[in-house]
Structure 1
Amino acid sequence: MKKWLISCGIVCVLFATSLNTGHANSVSGSRIVQLAMTHHERYMYGSTDCSALTRKVYGSVGIRLPRTSRQQARVGKPVRISNLRAGDLVFFATGRRGVISHVGIYTGNGRMIDAEYSGVRQTGIFTGSTAHYWKSKYITARRIL
């Protein structure tokens, strides 16, 4: 009886894991961007900051991300700038040089959506008037989907 219960438990866990993974794989990067653009909260460290935004957006499709941008930079697969797609996470060092302290969601065309002190907004990171700031602080990107 005990072996049967353990076997059933393992099967249930594997089944639940496959359901969660299948759901995550069916989400597109453009859907992530759409969801991110629905957020208009005022910036508040810890609850509506940059990493909280990415957690909320990805969490809404069943993908759990760690709390901080530095922790989030360790999940998913690394992506080169030339291969960025909508929905990828992009990471920056806005404080100490080389230390990840900011994250945004790549929207395409050299832009990202992120939570800044001025609120959730879309901004140019490789093109446009704000590229001079973001491009120099870029560290890496990760693909979660």
Structure 2
Amino acid sequence: MSSGPAVFFDIGDTLASAVVEGAHLARLDVYPFVPDVLARMREGGAGVGLISNTGNETAAAMNKLLRESGLSAVVDSELCLFSSLEGMNKSQPSFFVLASERAGLPAARCVFVGEDADERRTADTVGFRVSPHPLHALHLVAADLAVPPTV
């Protein structure tokens, strides 16, 4: 596991635009700055994970989407939590408690990054630091990283 904090990202509208076709997630169009930001966090010693409400998507479908989008190369698979697999969602504090347990860290050493203010409030209630945007999160954890990011 990493030596730094654990930073968990929402996917849709935070890391990527989610493209839905029919009732299923067809593609993730990752924002151009995202791979660099996540790689810099990992290089600095942060654990990088995902906390996402994924509807009824299977583990195989999510892994395929992450691979195809390039996100699987910049996240720690053991820190990826999906509502469809965990039986809970980001409106429940227990989802964030499970994330900190998976990271092996107290909630105070975890960060949730997501565009939704209600989800950030939920993460905050269990002690996570929160950020609305990946670039802001990079600065938020800079002091906790072994190799601080350059801007």
What TM-score, normalized to structure 1? 0.26
* Greater RCO, CA 8 A, separation 6+: 2
